[in-house]
Structure 1
Amino acid sequence: MKEEVKRSFWFNFLVVAATFTGIYIIFFWALGCLTHHGEMVKIPNLKGKHMNEAIAQLHDMHFDVHVDSTYDPLAKPLAVLKQVPDTGSTVKSGRIVMITVNSVTPMRVPMPNLISLSFRSAEMLLKNNKMFVGDTTYVPDIARGAIKEQRFKGHAIRPGEMIPQGSRIDLVIGNGLGNTDLNVPDLVHMTVDEATAIVNANNLILNLVVESGSGEIYDTPNAFIIRQVQKPLNDAGQPSKIKMGDIIDVFIKQKPEPDDYEGGNKPPIEAVKDKTFDPEDGN
């Protein structure tokens, strides 16, 4: 009798254990089928798709999605620019897929300093800041190919000013001096300060000369130009020409008398070589 009871107990125990084991296996098998847990899936190509389309596709494949944003002026708003893992990667379902989408509103960034850079360097710097080269204008300048001014929407823009990415920056570029002829300016009767402003505006070089016996120069900016070697008019009465970057030699005196000014005769070149004025020491 006891033996039969023991056999019955172990039989029932084994049946119950087998039943629970079967239920356990079936439950987790069904759970895996329903959730696709552990299933290996290839990541689709999402680049260029709209954010909503990409998220829906990833959710259908049982992926979680993390969204970040940046700005690309060449891409459509909310288009997928980048994905991690990359296209074709084989991963387990349920993993997080990170996508970077194009922002609707461009970020504002500091305007870089393009002044004195070459056109190529300026173009690369704008590209790195997600901007574009707009119109280019050439002006006479000794620095051929160098950026002289940067403009945005018709106005000069200073380095560091905040500007939207994707903006077009107009550039003013030096074209060199070799082919630019100017009329020789008439500097006689002007102060050194006045003449310097005119000469600098025309990218010329002013050479100050003091002849022996003309007196002390103690206030250079307010000294007067009494003669100049390169005359405004030639022998035919036509405007004389000078190239940008050339030198204009002028004679100066601190307090000239009316007779000190020369009307039209060119001073001998030896006089120019006689003494060149050094503004630093006043001699």
Structure 2
Amino acid sequence: MVTMQRPNTPPVRRPAPRQRPKRRQPSFPRRIYDTIRGNVLLRNIVMALCLGIILYFIINLCLSIYTRHGQKFIVPTLIGHTVAEADAMAAKGELRLEVIDSLYMPKQKPGTILDQSPKPGMGVKSGRRVFLTVNASRPRTDIIPYVTGYSLRQAKNMLETKGFEIEKLVYRSDMATNNVLDQQYEGRSVTQGARTEAELGSGITLVVGVNHSSPLPRIPKVIGLTLREAKSRLWEVGLNVGRVRHDSGIDDADLDDARVYRQEPNQQSRTDYGGNISLWLTLDTQKIARSSKESDAAARRYAVDEEETESESAPEEETADER
């Protein structure tokens, strides 16, 4: 029996199984995008935010164009000019003028501008309104209020509310202090029901009662106040305004802005009812601040001296009472 021999053949190598490539993970922005895209609620929120941002920039752009953002014009000096002249000056900056009040200043020409707001030199947008106060051609008049029988404080407030002021306080002996006994205009008494008319800003003389057993009034501090404010403060406590002086260079137009930097007698001291307080005015703020500190220091020294005097006189009064 013949046996067949197999030829020496090399073993068959089977190919290795192919490995599937690893799937790449999506990037972080891609994952966010897929999450938003697959979620209806998130997609609507993002779309609303994007729309809001776009609208914000569009509205800002429109407002900048409409309001002329960044475009400023310097307000010219209109004080001292007539309204017609001011119109020509304001037309360069497309400013609108509006007269809101009128005063009567006898030393100024009728129709001239006395005050303006905004002040000269300020930067404003075109089309801005500039409010003016002009000088009236003749003074306005009104009926003087009847203040006899009222307290001095009430009478002062009633007169100032109507546009009048106190010309002088004249004190007369009475059982009550600072009670108005009579009021006079141009030397004649103003009676109830007389309906006496006078120019606004006119001064009314008040005859006021004083009980001589009442303590003397203390002089208030008026440094830093305007002349009008200082007058009102002094009238409240029963004092008159004496001589008024001001620095050189201050004219009638600047007088309303000037402030008191010195007063005599000084604050906190005592004087008789109806006494005169002299005032000095300036536009120098540093001078006002310096004088205010000096006045406060003098007032503190006066208060200490007054306390020492009262403490020394108290034992003497007790000894006299015992005797």
Q: Which range, TM-score by smaller chain? A: 0.3 to 0.5
**TM-score under structure 1 length normalisation:** 0.40
More helix by proportion, 1 or 2?
Answer: 2
- Higher RCO (CA < 8 A, seq sep 6+): 1
